[in-house]
Structure 1
Amino acid sequence: MLLITCPVTRTDELVADRRIRSVTNLPTHIALHVECPSCGSVHVYRTGRRRTAAPAPVREARTAVPA
């Protein structure tokens, strides 16, 4: 079960898993295409990071090793 907010009616809807039409795995997030029981159209809900936010590069920690 998913709790979604319909962007058309602005109501919160509890949606069964069978209403998920497709799942797209993208590099920055996962997109769920869900059929809305309130208005009947398919909405896209994204999980994870925003598409514009790229993950910061990981820098190595440089520590001096005692001799």
Structure 2
Amino acid sequence: MLLITCPVTRTDELVADRRIRSVTNHATHIAMHVECPACGSVHVYRTGRKHIAATAAAQEARIPVHA
């Protein structure tokens, strides 16, 4: 079982393992395609330390620093 947040309805949903459509291993993260019980579409959830670090670095680069 997985606990996901549906980006369409913004609700937390408990999802059975059989709703996982595919799992793809990338160099920086793992992408999991999950069929959402709330809205019926397939959402992609990414996880991994390297993905979080890369996302944080990109966010940090976009935020202007005022001295």
TM-score (norm 1): 0.75
| Structural RMSD (CA) | 1.8
1:13 CA drift (Å): 0.1
Q: CA separation in 2, counterparts of 1:16 and 1:30?
A: 19
Structure exhibiting the larger radius of gyration computed from Cα positions: 1
Structure 2 unaligned runs (5+)? 55-67
Residue 61 of structure 2: aligned partner: none
Alignment of 1:1-67 (within 5 A): 1-48=1-48, 49-50=50-51, 53=54
Structure 1: stretches of 5+ with no match in the other structure: 54-67
> Identity of counterpart residues, as a percentage?
85
Q: Which has the higher helix share?
A: 2
How far is 1:51 from its partner? 7.0
